[in-house]
Amino acid sequence: MKIYLKKNILILFIAFLLNFNCHASAQIIHDRFINFGTEIDIKISNSSAEDANAALKEIRSRFNELNDNLNPWTPGNLYSLNKAIFHGEKAQTSADIIYLIKESQLYNELSLGNFEPSLGKLTKLWGFDNAANKKQIPDSKQLLTITKTKPSVKNLTVIGYEVSSSNNLVQLDFGGIAKGLAVDIGIQILQKHNIHNATINAGGDLKAIGMNGKKPWTIGISNPFGEGAMATTEAKSGEAIFTSGNYERAFKKGNKIYHHIIDPDTGMPSTNAVSSTVITKSGAKADAAATALMVAKPSEWVAIINNMQLKYVMLVDKNGQIFMTPEMKNRTVLNLESAPAVIILQEDKTQEK
């Protein structure tokens, strides 16, 4: 059994692109640390060292707070809330968790139920709750015990800071949205400290503001079938670019790869897309949308794109076929020697004005 953790390679490629694209006169202040189980890479261009250091110190502190409170597997706010839900109890929780529950309920509805951060019990059965845990294919009866009750964020009721659930098999795991929230908060902190040109890269997912010297920030989109990037695109100021893929947190058994993005209907890893990339102004929205599109059936992709009001989307299916919205195709450069013709994800014309 082989474990795949490919996105670290893409982080290095993105770092190369960001540095290569840097104008000679731009001063880059760089910080790198581990959080949310991945590498956080922050680049600040054309800022005073005093402002940058103050911002970086605050970001590290805030990210530590988020990581501690949003971890469903170790003692903290989310761990305590999940414990209360299991015992059928109401619980007070933090503002960050309340925000994520409400955002998740919205994205769950807009994504036709494909974004579902209530599947912590399934994640644990597969061994994806901890990088050190043995990854395994759960018994089908174990999966059915959970999936037949249809745990969902829709089961949650929020009154103020109090949360209750009508289903005690709900176990919140915000792995599909937490990094997005973190980069949004990180960018806000940078701007508060008068920093207007920077990127925050969280394990290959990135949000950018301003410029890299006199040029835009340029990033690579990972190739799900090989090393390096299959495409590049420029990040406009204020944009978040998030990719979900079946190569992240995955293991191979026999000839099949099992990854951590779980289909709520089957309890099994999703099988329709192998990679989804979304660009929006909100990191949380981009993160959730990329996760939802990985789970969704191809027949649902356009509806989700319309519902979530997404302009820039790229999907790759298990056969290597590339799908893009028209806007995404216009801004993306494919780096593949023999790339197939791109299939355009057509918008619902009835919603166009």
Residue 24 in this model has a pLDDT that exceeds 50? no
Residue 113 domain flag = yes
Q: How confident is the model at residue 19 (pLDDT cuts 50, 70, 90)?
A: low
351: confidence class by pLDDT, cuts 50, 70, 90? very low
Percent of the chain's residues with pLDDT above 90: 78
- Does 217 reside within a domain? no
245 found inside a domain: no
Which range scores top for mean pLDDT: 6-15, 17-26, 91-100? 91-100
294 assigned to some structural domain: no
What's the mean per-residue pLDDT of the chain? 90
Asked if residue 239 is part of any domain, the answer here is no
Residue type, 111: S
Q: For position 11, what pLDDT does the model report?
A: 44
- For the cut 50, the answer to whether the pLDDT of residue 69 exceeds it is yes
| Mean pLDDT of the region 298-325 | 97
pLDDT at residue number 348: 54
Read off the pLDDT of each residue in 183-198 and give the average, rounded to a whole number.
98
If you average pLDDT over residues 140-158, what whole number do you get? 97
pLDDT of 5 strictly over 80: no
Say whether pLDDT at 230 is over 50.
yes
Give yes or no for residue 9 having a pLDDT over 50. no
Ranges 30-44, 217-231, 261-275: which has the least confidence = 217-231
| Residue 131 maps to a domain | yes
Segment 147-171 shows an average pLDDT of: 98
Q: Does residue 207 lie within any of the structural domains?
A: no
* DSSP letter assigned to residue 349: G
279 neighbors 233 (Cβ within 8 angstroms)? yes
pLDDT at position 18: 52
User: How many structural domains comprise the chain?
Assistant: 1
User: CATH no. for residue 73?
Assistant: 1.10.3980.10
Q: Name the 3-class secondary structure at 198.
A: strand
pLDDT-based confidence at 12, cuts 50/70/90?
Answer: very low
Q: For 151, which DSSP code? A: -
pLDDT tens digit string along 314-345?
A: 999 999 999 999 999 999 999 887 777 899 99
* Residue/partner pairs of 126-133 with CB below 8 Å, 24 or more apart: 126/258, 126/260, 126/262, 126/269, 128/249, 128/260, 129/72, 129/73, 129/173, 130/73, 131/37, 131/249
- pLDDT at residue number 174: 98
Q: Judge whether residue 16 has pLDDT over 60.
A: no
Residues of the domain holding 162: 69-176
Residue 273: band (very low, low, confident or very high) from pLDDT cuts 50, 70, 90 = very high
* In contact, 136 and 126? CB cutoff 8 Å: yes
Q: What is the per-residue pLDDT across 283-292, written as a single tens digit (0 to 9) for each?
A: 999 999 999 9
As a whole number, mean pLDDT of residues 172-201 equals 98
Identify the DSSP state of 175: G
Does residue 162 surpass a pLDDT of 90? yes
**Directed axis angle between helix 95-110 and helix 178-192, to 10°?**
120
- Residue 346 has a pLDDT of 78
Burial of residue 60 (CB within 10 Å: 0-12, 13-18, 19+) is middle
Residue 180 near residue 96, CB atoms below 8 Å = no
Given pLDDT bands bounded at 50, 70 and 90, which one contains residue 252?
Answer: confident
Q: Residue 160: what pLDDT?
A: 98
Which residue, 5, 55, 3, 6, is CA-closest to 29?
55
In 3D space, the residue among 157, 168, 145 whose CA is nearest the CA of residue 87 turns out to be 168
Instruction: Give the span between the Cα atoms of 293 and 189, in whole angstroms.
Output: 30
pLDDT on residue 86? 98
The answer to the question of residue 127 being in a domain is: yes
Burial class (CB in 10 A: 0-12, 13-18, 19+), 41: buried
pLDDT at 4: 37
Which range is least confidently modeled, 8-12, 60-64, 88-92, 176-180? 8-12
